[in-house]
Amino acid sequence: DADVTQTPRNRITKTGKRIMLECSQTKGHDRMYWYRQDPGLGLRLIYYSFDVKDINKGEISDGYSVSRQAQAKFSLSLESAIPNQTALYFCATSEWTGSSYNEQFFGPGTRLTVL
């Protein structure tokens, strides 16, 4: 089945370390998103991309960067991790059909802990 996958699923790191979270999809979707989830705060958008050449900041992009290496791959980097970046991170994809919007499909999530 076509899916959205994330690696790693869990990561513990130390303050100041550089971390990369990876997302791959086999759905053939053009749009990819990175969210973080914190208790009581819902899903907040970090970055999103509509194709390889199109990257956009979301509402909480400070301290993060992204790379869209191919249509199927979208990576999120924390250049210098800090404890308040401890959260559950989700990648998501969606497809623009030219006439309608469609649901987002989420990856399984990456639980990141910054000590």
Of 81 and 87, the one with the shorter C-beta distance to another protein is 87
Min dist CB 8 to another protein, Å, is 15
CB of 36 within 8 A of CB of 48? no
Of 85 and 110, the one with the shorter C-beta distance to another protein is 110
DSSP states along 79-115: SS--GGG-EEEEEEEE---SS-----EE---EEEEE-
Min dist CB 106 to another protein, Å, is 4
Residues in touch with another protein (CB under 8 A)? 31, 33, 35, 40-45, 48, 50, 56, 58-59, 90, 96, 100-101, 103-104, 106-109
CB of 34 within 8 A of CB of 48? yes
Min dist CB 43 to another protein, Å, is 4
CB of 96 within 8 A of CB of 32? no
CB of 63 within 8 A of CB of 85? yes
Of 24 and 104, the one with the shorter C-beta distance to another protein is 104
Min dist CB 85 to another protein, Å, is 19
